Structure 1
Amino acid sequence: MGSVGGRASPGVKLPTVKLDTTLVELYKRACPKDTHTRLGWVSCGVTSGIDLTPDFPRNTKFVYEDQAFIATPHHELNNGNGRLQRSLAKKYLSHIPQRDAFISGNTPVVLFNLGQTPEQIEHDRREAEATISVLDPSQRPELIFCPGPSKIPMKEHKIDKLEYKVTVDGLEDYPLTHDLETHWHLNSKAALARSGLPTPKSDIIETEGYPPAAGACCNLCTAAAKDTSRLPTIPPGCTGPRGEWLSSQTNRILDAIRARPVPFVFKTQQAFGGAGTWLVTSADHKAKLLTDLSGSTTGSEGGGLLRKLLSLLTPANAHLHPTTTLLTDLIPTPQASSNSSSSSSSSDYGLTFCVPSSGGKPHFLAAAEQILTTDGSSAWVGSTIAYARQDELHDRFSGLMEQVAAWVAQRGYVGLVGVDVLLPDSKEEDGLVVDLNVRTCGSVSLALLRGHFFTERGLGWAGSFSIAVRGGRKGFVEKWRGLFEEGRMVILSWYEDVGGGESIADVVVGAEDQAGLGELMGRVKEGTEEVTF
């Protein structure tokens, strides 16, 4: 039996969780040459919009478009915006890393401190330790905390290499399991469109050249460049070569959208968690997209998304083409109902597997159904799985899985891969790859908890999802005490913001059947808010 490190009510006894396997076991099986390598795992998120902490700066070379970068007005993307920094740091430096740490296994896992005081540092540690305390002792990770990517204590903890989730600028000087630029490329939308894999047809819009340096432009640009606390954006009113370049490249993208008949999908180059994707199904949707991209009616300083995004193109990252955009065919999904937890015939699956270095067959993990937000942002907020269907789905996806595995393996990648697959009506077709996530994905935990839910407890369905709740872990565990003690609910990640009185969490629940899972997830979600990335 386990506990939650003194943060549950007295007398609450949590069953020990034994994973079917772990990330480090999967990786070393896939890459035998690293069998005796001491790997450190870095599973944080990242943003290009704002520094997460003083020791964790925003990405400038490997540009990412997360939901915050896309939706936040330019004037709010500054390092004086403590509220936004704190919100993102909780998600990217605790929520996501804890969720992956839970399934990492007996290996060093690097986490980054949200705060700098001894009290804040200790709080970060207690929250993560409480989460993993329910794991079988043989599968608990060694948690290593440090201030930021430039201060990872490799020698102190005898770490040979780092395995990482997303491409972080600050990891360039460390020995890594795979190359940063290659990894960024494999996760880019344009690479998938050009891969030869079965994907929806795409028109790729590349920006031409890159903007001149601010100092070689006008007084407005020179003044704006001096404020390093803000997202470096070519300012409205610039009449020099930077403004001319921005105007011409923006118009190329907007003109392509105007010429494209609905329906279609608009995508930016690099994102995660469902960000950077717009489903355009009507003339009204198209008009709103044009406004959001151009900022023509926002009235906010800095304008729309394209001004923010294109301003981040520099000589140092131009070869990566981070400002590429795509117009993609929108494939109708007649089988799908609403991407809800109660959908009985969803055609939208998250396929996860492990790619070996030998060129052999990939190791299938799971095919889970995805839960997306219903506000039109298409942000991923969770997944559900039918354990009894996994053999059938493995057979259905085996051909597609092998195609994807061969493509990433040819480019030197070994490890976990997630594929968003859209199934056609015909059972003879493999499906279309609508997104490729060459990294550990949120639904992997469902695969590794099959024994806990299905084999040991007869729970044929499980769902994982992220929530924001009022109060702390102790009260939440007490409220759902019966589910926790029966092993029907497991906390994969929890961070309580003591000052704000709110916690963000990732939980997984199990039920005997699909209807029961839908009802249980609805009960747990009642009175909470969705967490997007």
Structure 2
Amino acid sequence: MLVQAPVSLDYTMYDLYAVDNDGNTRPDLFYYPFGFKVDESLPVKFVYNFGLETEMKSTVDPNALMEMMVRGLAQRYGFFAGKLHIFLPISTFGDKKESPNRVELERTFSQIHHDQIPDLGFVTSPADIVLSPEPGIAVVVPTDSILTIPHAVDPDTHYELLSKRGLAFSGLLTPPTVVVDAEIAPDEVQDPQQLQQAMQRMLEPLETYQIPFFVKLNQSVSGKGVFAVTSEAHREQVKKILGVQLQEMLRQINDINSHLHPSSFILQDYIPGKVVALSMFVTQKGRAIFNACCQQHFDSRGYWIGGQISYPEQEALKQKYAETMNQIAKFLHQRGYYGPAGADIVTDGDGKNYTVDLNVRVTGTHPLGPLAGHFTQRGLKNATMITEYFTCSRSDFERAFKAEIADGALIICSWVREEAIGLSHGGVTIGGADNEKLESLMARVLALSGIPKAVPDDSY
């Protein structure tokens, strides 16, 4: 039997939501990013552009992989919720209490010190969500399926704050940016001629924008929907991708979402310099609380797969980005937002800090902040969070890293298993005394990762 000491967090979302709230009720949490299935015959309000690029070719159903990933994300974010009430969707056949999904969730949260375990609410539909009194529910992103449930932050406002267009008009210091709007009415998108004209008009700015630059779809995340244009060949490739996808994007414009500009995109200058991921918390009174400042890890396709932190450097980084952090908090507070947030910041050669992305939600590197004490008390000065698909079960993974889990160097923050396809998806946080030891343990973990592929790696 695996023996490990309970994970004790420096602070949780329960603690952060208590700051500056004058004793008011904290929100309940819903960290499942895509909500529940909705009636596909109805118009969609909140459109997200996450899957437009060609995905890795695999023998596994991509929908199954996506479902595993989002279930793991809800679990991983919930790990740091503290004593808040968090709703977790589960798939079940028969009794909810016997759901394998539920058993896996409870196994994950059982690792946490008993004073910090969330109040878990297992739900299979929006009807199962029964909130505490005010202020409502806090979400990762707004979705149509739970719109009838009161929200702590207005969903329309939250959606706009999450958008690349919203950042461009925020007044924050960003790289030079051009916003490309659809400029087509909902009743015109079904007209082939007007649709084609709108597409041509939107693609025109790509022709002359100075290389290097980025093309970012309005609602993109984790690198998906973001295209780096570094050559004329890349420019033509991106034009081809958008030429195909814009037709679908524009047809998603309707009477209930046109004011949110769901099909816009931006063109943004490339600023050379070091990029960091800053995570923070904005209180109800607009105060910024520093959480962590990390490096980010991306795979060969430019998709986010994790982040890394150096704990000895945190105080200096907190000071370096304090002004930028406070400006972001002020902007979000003015728009009525409070809660966790993150920003990708690049510092140019003159020392200016540009906000290149704003993630108005709990972020992937947030967990590295509350775990500072856990790792540093064990002499582990560096830590990384990785999310991957694994070919092994959780039990096999735990056996492979029995010693590291027991001594606190490795924490499984989320784990989802689908026996039907023989894959798991895990969120694992790893600590190391130095970078060399951290990378060595990471390599051992990643040796168990992978997805069965239909084609060789070098074919995509």
Task: Give the TM-score, by structure 2 length.
Answer: 0.92
Note if contact 2:186-2:258 (Cα within 8 Å) is conserved in structure 1: no
User: What amino acid maps onto 1:441 in structure 2?
Assistant: T
Match of 1:44 in 2: 32
Deviation of the 1:499 alpha carbon: 1.4
Deviation of the 1:212 alpha carbon: 2.5
Note if contact 2:52-2:225 (Cα within 8 Å) is conserved in structure 1: no
Deviation of the 1:39 alpha carbon: 3.0
Deviation of the 1:506 alpha carbon: 0.4
Deviation string for 1:200-233 (max 9, x for gaps)?
00111111123437xxxxxxxxxxxxxxxxxxxx
Distance in structure 2 (CA, Å) of the matches to 1:30 and 1:70? 42
Note if contact 1:195-1:407 (Cα within 8 Å) is conserved in structure 2: yes
Match of 1:354 in 2: 281
Structure 1 residue 382 and structure 2 residue 309: aligned?
Answer: no
Deviation of the 1:281 alpha carbon: 0.3
Note if contact 1:167-1:184 (Cα within 8 Å) is conserved in structure 2: yes
> How is 1:125-164 mapped onto 2 (pairs within 5 angstroms)?
125-148=102-125, 150-154=126-130, 161-164=136-139
Match of 1:397 in 2: 321
Unaligned stretches of 5+ residues in structure 1: 1-10, 74-81, 214-233, 235-240, 295-303, 334-346
Deviation of the 1:431 alpha carbon: 1.1
Note if contact 1:383-1:463 (Cα within 8 Å) is conserved in structure 2: yes
Return closer, same or farther for 1:439/1:354 CA change in 2, 3 Å cut-off: same
Note if contact 1:53-1:114 (Cα within 8 Å) is conserved in structure 2: no
Match of 1:246 in 2: 195
Match of 1:435 in 2: 357
SS of 2:238 mapped into structure 1: helix
Distance in structure 1 (CA, Å) of the matches to 2:375 and 2:404? 12
Task: Give the TM-score, by structure 1 length.
Answer: 0.80
Match of 1:12 in 2: 2
Note if contact 1:106-1:140 (Cα within 8 Å) is conserved in structure 2: yes
Distance in structure 2 (CA, Å) of the matches to 1:430 and 1:349? 13
Aligned pairs, number: 449
Match of 1:298 in 2: none
Deviation string for 1:242-276 (max 9, x for gaps)?
21122111111221111223211101111222222
Identity of aligned residues (%): 28
Deviation string for 1:369-413 (max 9, x for gaps)?
1111223xx221100000000000001000111111111111111
Distance in structure 2 (CA, Å) of the matches to 1:55 and 1:208? 27
Match of 2:447 in 1: 526
Match of 1:237 in 2: none
User: What amino acid maps onto 1:242 in structure 2?
Assistant: D
Deviation of the 1:53 alpha carbon: 4.9
SS of 1:319 mapped into structure 2: helix
Structure 1 residue 189 and structure 2 residue 129: aligned?
Answer: no
Match of 1:411 in 2: 335
Larger fraction in strand = 2
> How is 1:86-125 mapped onto 2 (pairs within 5 angstroms)?
86-92=64-70, 94-118=71-95, 122-125=99-102
SS of 1:448 mapped into structure 2: coil
Deviation of the 1:526 alpha carbon: 1.9
Of 257-266 and 13-22, more deviation after overlay is shown by 257-266
Return closer, same or farther for 1:114/1:481 CA change in 2, 3 Å cut-off: same
SS of 1:261 mapped into structure 2: coil
Return closer, same or farther for 1:116/1:250 CA change in 2, 3 Å cut-off: farther
Return closer, same or farther for 1:40/1:516 CA change in 2, 3 Å cut-off: same
Note if contact 1:108-1:144 (Cα within 8 Å) is conserved in structure 2: yes
Structure 1 residue 509 and structure 2 residue 430: aligned?
Answer: yes
Deviation string for 1:30-84 (max 9, x for gaps)?
433xx3425321011229xxxx657999992111111x354469xxxxxxxx934
Return closer, same or farther for 1:270/1:12 CA change in 2, 3 Å cut-off: same
User: What amino acid maps onto 1:448 in structure 2?
Assistant: P
Match of 1:175 in 2: 150
Please list every run of at least 4 consecutive aligned residues from structure 1 whose deviation after the TM superposition is greater than 3 angstroms. Answer: 52-59, 69-73, 82-85, 114-121, 157-160
Deviation of the 1:470 alpha carbon: 1.0
Match of 1:238 in 2: none
Note if contact 1:211-1:246 (Cα within 8 Å) is conserved in structure 2: no
Deviation of the 1:118 alpha carbon: 3.9
Note if contact 2:391-2:450 (Cα within 8 Å) is conserved in structure 1: no
Deviation of the 1:500 alpha carbon: 1.4
Deviation of the 1:105 alpha carbon: 0.6
Distance in structure 2 (CA, Å) of the matches to 1:293 and 1:510? 41
Note if contact 2:38-2:144 (Cα within 8 Å) is conserved in structure 1: no
Of 463-472 and 512-521, more deviation after overlay is shown by 512-521
Distance in structure 2 (CA, Å) of the matches to 1:353 and 1:176? 21
Deviation of the 1:353 alpha carbon: 1.0
Distance in structure 2 (CA, Å) of the matches to 1:121 and 1:30? 40
